[in-house]
Structure 1
Amino acid sequence: MSSKTSVSGGQPPRPSVPMKVIVCSLPRTGTSSMKLALEQLGIHDVYHMTTYVDSPDDYKLWEAAIKAKKEGKNLTRAQWDQLLKECQAVVDAPGGYFAVELSEVYPEAKVIILNRDPEKWYVSISNTVQKVIKLRASVEYLEWFLRPWMPTQGSAIIRLGNLIAKSGVGLGSYNKKETLDFFHGYFADCRARIPAERYIEFKVQDGWDPLCKHLGIQAPGEQTKNGWVQAPFPRVNDTDAFGDRVKAVQSRVLGQIGKNMASQALVLVGLASVFGYWRGAVDVKPFW
């Protein structure tokens, strides 16, 4: 456990499920591919941004984690256990921002530093996540205006995005140098604070062999008449996947807002314009 001061908490302990893998990762570094790869290796309940989207009640503890980090503190293991529940791995935002803290809380877990070419990463992040972050002021206002009808999921997503953007995480800057400085600083901090024997440097292009050697797990595949054939490493176009997820969440949230407003017999004036503004402003284009 870290020697840093911990935030008090009385949550129940983690179920008897080991934390196996912590992935030092930022959005757009191949996190969707890594999630699928870990699942193919039998490591299930991987906490990814998509997990948070479907678990809006987690917001309070992520808020506490961000506040603690800004103060040079860490959550207790009991709090992390409560937040991560039965997850055996953590990758992508928001968990990736706390890779160092998680590696201290779960010393038994193996660590992967999931890196990517910085220039390609910047093109990807500026065409996806930063487009959404740029809208946070107007979206924050819309969340306030529509709060009486906003479903918990929509409110939690908007609030976490605003919290991250304001927390000094680094993705809230629209300056290329500042964004890349954050990228390099994040990975440098992981390397400096996590013992070298606990982690490997990895890119999704490296494939199964180094990953499976580090984790001590056989690569997936099948026995054929010509011998063992290794399964291809999963490759997900993160930009396309991000755009699809954004549109799916927007449709779900806005649809629920409409239902909630209609159920209270209120006129749906402006809903179509809100929908068009929010959807049209986040025009995610593939860059591959």
Structure 2
Amino acid sequence: MDNADYCLIDIGKDENPIDHKNSHKMKFICAGFPKTASKSASAAFEKLGFRVADYIETCEFLTEEWLEYMEGRGSIKKVLDAYERNNFDTNQDFPGNIYWEELWRASGEGKVVLTVRDNEHVWYESWINFFEQNFKGIAVNIATHLAWHGFFGKEIYEMVRVGIHSVRIMFGVDCCFEQKALSNRFRANARIMKQRYLSHIIYVKSVVPEDKLLIWNIKDGWEPLCKFLEVPIPNDPIPRKNTKAGELFEEYSKTEFTQKIKRQTLRNFIKFLFAIVLIVILFQVYRLTA
């Protein structure tokens, strides 16, 4: 796959084209790569009154529709219906930022916010540092395997599959469940990943009309963003999120969705222990009667 092929992927003609007169239209589309201050951008959008489907919201409400679409089993209309059903105004992070063009065209070709970093080197260092600081140790490897086998519930299992598809499409890197090996793949493909970051920006600029596109570095502050979205400028500074190791997951751990996953995990763990105890008992009975 060439460096820019990912942005030209054709997943087939949608058999259920959207009737724009009667369909929900997202207020704007986010097209930025991960680690372009996307979490701070989401906090900024929320402060401006927009409801954002970032990673955790996507995981909770949208994975089934996205996975069906990414695997060719569903339509973009069904994805947008899920956004509408849950009253989201915009997307953020995987996989919406990969399929930003499909979302944009299907929702009426409105405004697009493309978050960026100072350059491709700053972006790559931010990505690799985030990954290596937050995904390390045997516990992460075990948790990833358990998630892949559905131990944490249907939503997490589906989001792992979405993540595997997303990383492959956006970065050209095949995922694996050993995090050190995956980190090595990211480092070995650093040049290609940087080229994909740059080609993504070029492609977005080539598709979206200038008057509908905001290329926004969070360093630019509120003014260009608020002018573009036609909302008042807040007095407070832009919120800063996900700036240090562990911060994002600590924030996620406080959500109701995460609490639900913990309850589901506890139930599965109890079932697992019960099965082990039952197997041991049956084995002992077999030994005594054999």
> Counterpart of 1:182?
196
RMSD over aligned Cα atoms = 3.7
Deviations 1:179-231 (A, max 9, x none): 111111111111111112211211111111111111111112xxxxxxxxx22
Q: Distance in 2 between matches of 1:184 and 1:134?
A: 32
Structure 1: any 5+ residue segments left out of the alignment? Answer: 69-73, 221-229, 269-288
Q: Distance in 1 between matches of 2:22 and 2:157?
A: 28
Identify, as 1 or 2, the structure richer in helix. 2
- What residue identity is the alignment partner of 2:113? I
- What residue identity is the alignment partner of 1:80? V
- What residue identity is the alignment partner of 2:203? D
> Counterpart of 2:264?
256
Report if aligned partners of 2:171, 2:196 keep a CA contact under 8 Å in 1: yes
> Counterpart of 1:99?
100
> Counterpart of 1:38?
45
Report if aligned partners of 1:13, 1:82 keep a CA contact under 8 Å in 2: no
- What is the TM-score when the length of structure 1 is the normalising length? 0.70
Q: Distance in 2 between matches of 1:180 and 1:134?
A: 26
Deviations 1:160-191 (A, max 9, x none): 222223x4321635121011111111111111
Moved over 6 A (4+): 10-16, 133-140, 246-252
> Counterpart of 1:266?
275
Instruction: Specify the SS of the correspondent of 2:97.
Output: helix
> Counterpart of 1:279?
none
Deviation at 1:258, TM superposition (A): 3.9
> Counterpart of 2:169?
168
Q: Distance in 1 between matches of 2:21 and 2:71?
A: 22
Instruction: Tell me which of 51, 57, 60 is aligned to 2:57.
Output: 51
> Counterpart of 1:286?
none
Identical pairs, percent: 20
Deviation at 1:106, TM superposition (A): 2.0
> Counterpart of 1:80?
79
Deviation at 1:17, TM superposition (A): 5.3
Deviation at 1:259, TM superposition (A): 2.6
Q: Distance in 1 between matches of 2:105 and 2:19?
A: 19
- Alignment length, in residue pairs? 245
Identify, as 1 or 2, the structure richer in strand. 1
Q: Distance in 2 between matches of 1:133 and 1:108?
A: 40
Report the more deviating stretch, 109-118 or 124-133.
124-133
Deviation at 1:88, TM superposition (A): 0.9
Q: Distance in 2 between matches of 1:219 and 1:109?
A: 21
